Amino acid sequence: MPATEDNKTLAVRALDELFNRGNLEAAEELVHPEFLNHEAAAGRPPGPEGMRQTITWIRNAFSELNFTVHDVVAEGDRVVVRCDMSGRHTGELMGLPATGESFSVQHIHVFRIAEGKLVEHWANRDDLGCMVQLGLAPELHNHH
């Protein structure tokens, strides 16, 4: 099987195991010790520990968290995943109390794979769309 297929399997498995299932132990197996998340909060450490902190943070803010994968494209050491992230806001989010509202927004994640593990991550996320759906940001198109 070509490496690109293995890389695609790894990226999809990581989203499922780590984020959908909240399996923190899987970070050691799936995340490179030098993992760098370019989207991470300031001061978050590299490697599996940083990934565990990200998963814990997002799963504390959102219940029913689910990444639904639509496209996976791989070339060289990169994997691009187009997916929807959905969930319900049932925990504190950046100091804002839970709204109980559900949301679904589109994400594009880019992973660099090395030694069979995730070693670098970038993303384009519709965070504004998420906040609007949760009632935490004004609607962008208010026609009165």
Q: Which residue type, as a one-letter code, is found at position 25?
A: E
Closest alpha carbon to 110 in 97, 89, 124:
124
CA separation for the pair 105, 127 (Å, rounded): 8
Residue 137 main-chain phi, psi, to 5 deg? -140, 150
Average pLDDT over residues 2-27: 97
Closest alpha carbon to 93 in 50, 137, 52:
137
CA separation for the pair 70, 12 (Å, rounded): 10
- Judge whether 118 and 10 are in contact, CB under 8 Å: yes
Q: What is the pLDDT of residues 31-57, one digit of tens each?
A: 999 999 999 988 999 999 999 999 999
CA separation for the pair 92, 133 (Å, rounded): 16
Residue 114: both structure tokens together: 């090395």
What is the model's pLDDT at position 47? 98
Q: Which domains does the chain have, with CATH numbers?
A: 3-133 (3.10.450.50)
Concatenate the DSSP letters of all residues of 26-86 into one string.
Answer: HHHHHEEEEEEETTSPTT--SHHHHHHHHHHHHHHHEEEEEEEEEEEEEETTEEEEEEEEE
What is the model's pLDDT at position 41? 86
What is the model's pLDDT at position 1? 65
Whether pLDDT at 141 is above 70:
no
Q: What is the mean pLDDT of the chain?
A: 95
Q: Which residue type, as a one-letter code, is found at position 127?
A: D
What is the model's pLDDT at position 144? 59
Q: What is the pLDDT of residues 100-139, one digit of tens each?
A: 999 999 999 999 999 999 999 999 999 999 999 999 998 7
Whether pLDDT at 142 is above 70:
no
Average pLDDT over residues 10-35: 98
Average pLDDT over residues 70-93: 98
What is the model's pLDDT at position 139? 75
What is the model's pLDDT at position 2? 80
CB atoms inside a 10 Å sphere around CB 24: 17
